[in-house]
A and B are shown apart, each in its own frame.
Chain A
Amino acid sequence: MATVTELVKAEEEAKPKLWLGQPLKRKEDPRLISGLGKYVDDVKLPGLAYASILRSPYAHARIKSIDTSKAEKLTGVLCVITGRDVVKITDPFLQISPAPANKLKDYCLAVDKVTYVGDPVAAVVAESRGIAEDALELIEVEYEPVDHVIDARRALEKDAPVLHEEVGSNLVFYGKWDYGNIEQAIKTADKVVKATLHFHRFSSTPIENNGVVVNYDRATGFLNIYCNNQMPMFCIPWLSFGLRFPSNRIRMITGDIGGGFGTKIINYPYIALVAILAMKTGRPVKWTEDRREHLAAANHGNERTFDVEVPVKRDGTILGFKLKAFDDCGAYTRYEPAGAAIWAQVTPGCYHFANFVMEFYQVMTNKCPVGPNRGYSRSQHLWMLERSVDIVARELGLDPAEVRLKNFVRPDEMPYVTPSGGIYDGGNYGESLRKVMKLIDYDGIREEQAASRRKGGKLIGIGLATVLDSGTNNFGQVKIVNPENPFSGNSEAARISIDGLGQIQVALGTVPQGQGHETFASQVVADEFGVSPDQVTVLMGFDSGTNPYSHQSGSYASRSAVMGTGALLGAAKKVKEKAAKIAAHLLQTSPEKIDFREGAAVDRETGKKIPLWQIGNVAWVNNLLLPEGMEPGLVAINFWRPSFTLPDEKWRHNQTLTYSYQSHAAVIELDPESGKFKILRYAIVDDCGTQINPLIVEGQVHGAAAHGIGAAMYENFEYDEENGQLKSSTFIDYLVPTALDIPHMITSHIETPSLFAPKGIRGVGEGGCTPVGAISNAVEDALAPLGIRITDSHQNPQQIHKLIREKASK
Chain B
Amino acid sequence: MQSLKTDMITVTCKINGKEYSGMVEPRTLLVHFLRDDLNLTGTHIGCDTGHCGACTIFMNGKTVKSCMVLAIQAQGANLMTVEGLADGDKLHPIQEAYWENHGLQCGYCTPGMLMSSLFLLQRNPDPTEEEIRRGIEGNLCRCTGYVNIVKSIKAAAKKMQQQQGSAAPSIQAKAGH
Contact = CB atoms under 8 A, between A and B. Distances in A.
Interface stretch (B58-66, B70-78, B104-112, B164-172): B104-112
Contacts of A28: 107
Interface stretch (A33-41, A431-439, A647-655): A33-41
A37 B108 contact: yes
B127 to A, nearest CB: 12
B142 A204 contact: yes
B42 A74 contact: no
Contacts of A292: 48
Interface in B86-113: 86, 91, 95, 98-100, 102, 104-111
Most buried by A among B42, B51, B108, B111: B108
Interface residues on B, range: 35 or more
Given A32-B104, A207-B44, A739-B149, A706 B91 contact: no
A534 interface: no
A514 B143 contact: yes
A740 interface: yes
B14 interface: no
Contacts of B28: 130
Contacts of A134: 4
A291 B46 contact: yes
Given A35-B83, A258-B106, A516-B105, A75 B2 contact: yes
Contact of A74 (B4, B46, B81, B106): B4
Given A35-B81, A699-B102, A744 B129 contact: yes
A703 B144 contact: yes
B85 interface: yes
B9 to A, nearest CB: 14
A42 B45 CA distance: 11
Interface in B1-52: 1-5, 25, 27-28, 32, 35, 39-49, 51-52
A26 B102 contact: yes
A739 B3 CA distance: 45
A698 interface: yes
B3 to A, nearest CB: 4
A33 B146 contact: no
A74 B141 CA distance: 39
Contact of B85 (A25, A34, A41, A205): A34
A402 interface: no
Interface string B136-158: 11111111111111100000000
Interface in A386-423: none
A745 B51 CA distance: 24
A740 B49 contact: no
Interface string A683-718: 000000000000110110011111100000000000
Contacts of B99: 25-26, 29-30, 33
Interface string A116-153: 00000000000001110010001000000000000000
A699 B4 contact: no
Given A33-B98, A75-B2, A742-B145, A207 B85 contact: no
Nearest to A71: B2
B106 A206 contact: yes
Contacts of A698: 102, 148
Given A29-B104, A207-B54, A730-B48, A706 B1 contact: no
Contacts of A745: 145, 147
A732 interface: yes
B133 interface: yes
A257 interface: yes
B148 A75 contact: no
**Which label, helix, strand, loop or mixed, suits the secondary structure of the A interface?**
loop
Interface string A254-294: 00111101000000000000000000000000001011100
B48 A290 contact: yes
Interface string A52-84: 000000000000000000100111100000000
A690 to B, nearest CB: 19
Given A32-B110, A703-B142, A703-B143, A695 B44 contact: no
A129 B32 CA distance: 10
A637 interface: no
Q: How large is the interface on A (under 10, 10 to 19, 20 to 34, 35 or more residues)?
A: 35 or more
A515 interface: yes
Nearest to B101: A695
Interface centre among A259, A291, A739, A742 (most CB of B within 10 A): A739
A734 to B, nearest CB: 10
Contact of B141 (A37, A207, A513): A207
A732 B49 CA distance: 7
Contacts of A204: 142
Contacts of A706: 142, 144-146
Given A33-B91, A207-B54, A259 B142 contact: yes
B175 interface: no
A561 to B, nearest CB: 14
A74 B47 contact: no
Nearest to B39: A44
B25 A41 contact: no
A736 B137 CA distance: 11
A292 B139 CA distance: 18
Given A208-B106, A702-B145, A35 B51 contact: no
A736 B108 contact: no
A739 B154 CA distance: 14
B137 A205 contact: no
Nearest to A25: B99
Contacts of A41: 35, 41, 44-45
Contacts of B54: 207
B17 to A, nearest CB: 15
B147 A702 contact: yes
Given A29-B99, A41-B45, A208-B46, A73 B2 contact: yes
Nearest to A135: B4
A36 B129 CA distance: 29
A3 interface: no
Nearest to A33: B95
B114 interface: yes
B43 A35 contact: yes
A696 B105 CA distance: 8
A170 interface: no
A745 B134 CA distance: 17
Contacts of A207: 44, 46, 52, 54, 106, 108-109, 140-142
Contacts of B109: 207, 258
B82 interface: yes
B27 A130 contact: yes
B164 to A, nearest CB: 22
Contacts of B32: 129
Contacts of B25: 130
Nearest to A138: B2
Contacts of A39: 41, 44, 108
B47 A291 contact: yes
Contacts of B110: 32-33, 37
Nearest to B52: A207
Contacts of A73: 1-2
Contacts of B82: 33-35
A33 B32 CA distance: 20
Given A34-B82, A731-B51, 8 more contacts: A25-B99, A29-B104, A35-B81, A74-B4, A291-B46, A291-B48, A514-B107, A699-B102
Task: Sort A-B residue pairs by CB-CB distance and give the 10 closest, nearest first.
Answer: A35-B42, A258-B108, A514-B106, A32-B107, A706-B145, A514-B105, A702-B145, A35-B82, A731-B51, A75-B3
27 contacts: A25-B99, A26-B99, A29-B99, A33-B98, A33-B104, A35-B42, A39-B108, A41-B45, A42-B41, A207-B54, A207-B106, A207-B109, A208-B44, A208-B108, A256-B106, A258-B106, A258-B107, A261-B142, A290-B48, A291-B48, A291-B49, A514-B143, A515-B105, A702-B146, A703-B144, A703-B145, A731-B47
Interface of A: 25-26, 28-37, 39, 41-42, 44, 70, 73-76, 129-131, 134, 138, 204-209, 256-259, 261, 288, 290-292, 513-516, 695-696, 698-699, 702-707, 730-732, 736, 738-740, 742, 744-745
